[in-house]
């Protein structure tokens, strides 16, 4: 009984660790440099705007995937900058 429970917990922890170490889906998420290429803004400007408070109109929402590197959701960037595809 306890062995089964420990195996289930271990399997769940391994899944979580794999997801934290995984790279984000490149179709769904963009790096600051990729956003810069799409928008024409400097990638440092993109990163600085992601540090603004969420109520600031210039704020760009970002995500972290287990590292210090920030990623930006493609559909959010397209909506914010009204990029046509």
Look at residue 76 and tell me if it is in a domain: yes
How many Å separate Cα 85 from the centre of its chain? 21
In tens, the pLDDT along 43-61 reads 999 999 999 999 999 999 9
* DSSP secondary structure letters along 16-38: HHHHHHSPP-TTTEEEHHHHHHH
Q: Per-residue pLDDT averaged across 11-24, rounded?
A: 77
List the domain range (segments joined by +) for residue 43: 25-85
Residue 4 lies in a domain: no
**Beta 63-64 vs 70-73: how paired, if at all?**
antiparallel
Q: Which residues contact 59 (CB under 8 A, 6 or more apart)?
A: 49, 50, 52, 53
Asked if residue 19 has pLDDT above 90, the reply is no
Q: For residue 82, is it within any domain? A: yes
Q: Evaluate whether residue 83 is within a structural domain.
A: yes
Q: What are the pLDDT digits (tens) for 74-85?
A: 999 999 988 755
pLDDT (mean) for 60-77: 89
Question: Is the residue at 5 inside a domain?
Answer: no
Kindly report whether the global pTM for this prediction surpasses the value 0.75.
Answer: no
CATH classification of the domain holding 67: 1.10.10
What is the pLDDT at residue 18? Answer: 74
């Amino acid at each position: 009984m306890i062995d089964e429970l420990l195996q289930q917990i271990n399997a769940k922890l391994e899944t979580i660790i794999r997801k934290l170490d995984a790279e984000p889906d490149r179709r769904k998420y963009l790096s600051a440099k990729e956003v810069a290429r799409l928008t024409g803004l400097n990638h440092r400007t993109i990163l600085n705007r992601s540090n603004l408070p969420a109520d600031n109109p210039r704020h760009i929402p970002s995500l972290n995937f287990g590292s210090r590197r920030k990623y930006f959701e493609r559909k959010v960037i397209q909506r914010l900058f009204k990029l046509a595809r």
